Structure 1
């Protein structure tokens, strides 16, 4: 399994978006890609929270001194618990020995299926 790449142009900047495999069996591919990027977007389910593979990839990102943008997706799911997910993700970051800069991460809440997002899950909009 290899990483997938796409690119967008935003405000005159080319942003490469790379989707890495999340499983530890593909650690070499994850390490290869993380050595080439400036930051990482971590997408976590609003009901389930961080999964075991989240730990593996996030640890690799921190070892590469990357900052993470946290996206809590599927905020529309019945039983979604975004506050719990945020706390669990923060706890994971602390357990992985994230530095102070890495612990100060932005959070974006989304419902991809509905095409809405925002920094406050109670007030998301289409954009």
Structure 2
């Protein structure tokens, strides 16, 4: 059955059906679920790359769903910043290689600057 068909049968939106399916897949083993936490906690955790780790951390820390969501947002921001820095570093390396390959006065200047770092 497709999410659309389930949606028609249950009256839920297809998006909600997909959320339920993703959550079930992430926690299909009953042993991975935390009964003291809400479905919404599990739903939030299912959106991450490590659902079981996130649900365990939420239980250990006693997070409300709001706290869990804030922690998740912080982790995404940290990852986005790492990705941005990685992209900048890759660009710097590429440009450095281009300048050094061309040689000349600018390449000499760049080599001197790199030695000072």
TM-score by length of structure 1 reads 0.19
Could you say which structure has the higher strand fraction?
A: 1
Could you say which structure has the higher helix fraction?
A: 2
Larger Rg: 2
Task: Answer 1 or 2: higher relative contact order, Cα 8 Å, separation at least 6.
Answer: 1
TM-score by length of structure 2 reads 0.21
